[in-house]
């Protein structure tokens, strides 16, 4: 959510001004090419927290964390032992 908010603060003004369409700006959310970086550094408006440029590394890091979480969840679904697969415990009689 932080990456999307950061992207919206930087590229939202460009969308409103008609410099970029929403689709073109959407590509810049994860694009590290020179064009998107150049457009992001052209933003001269004052933003909250003093943001002047957008860096897509936060977006890619968040995608990696989401993918790792989804992969971990899948592993847990397939490799968690069920109650039926656990060995039955036999207690000795104390008599």
Question: What confidence tens digit (pLDDT) does each residue in 22-63 have?
Answer: 888 888 888 867 777 777 676 665 665 666 677 788 888 999
Q: How confident is the model at residue 67 (pLDDT cuts 50, 70, 90)?
A: very high
Work out the mean pLDDT of the chain and round it to a whole number.
77
pLDDT score, position 39? 73
Assign 3-class secondary structure to the chain.
Answer: CHHHHHHHHHHHHHHHHCCCCHHHHHHCCCCCCHHHHHHHHCCCCCCHHHCCCCCCHHHHHHHHHHHHHHHHHHHHHHHCCCHHHCCCCCCCCCC
Query: Domain ranges in the chain?
Result: 1-85
pLDDT score, position 30? 83
pLDDT score, position 36? 76
pLDDT score, position 52? 67
Q: How confident is the model at residue 86 (pLDDT cuts 50, 70, 90)?
A: low
């Amino acid at each position: 959510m932080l990456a999307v908010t950061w992207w919206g603060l930087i590229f939202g003004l460009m969308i409103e001004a008609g410099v970029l369409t929403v689709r073109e700006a959407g590509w810049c959310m994860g694009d590290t090419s020179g064009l998107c970086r150049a457009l992001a550094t052209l933003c001269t408006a004052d933003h909250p927290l003093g943001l002047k440029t957008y860096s897509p590394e936060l977006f890619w890091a968040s995608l990696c964390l989401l993918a790792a979480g989804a992969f971990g969840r899948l592993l847990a679904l397939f490799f968690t032992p069920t109650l039926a697969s656990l060995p039955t415990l036999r207690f000795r009689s104390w008599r």
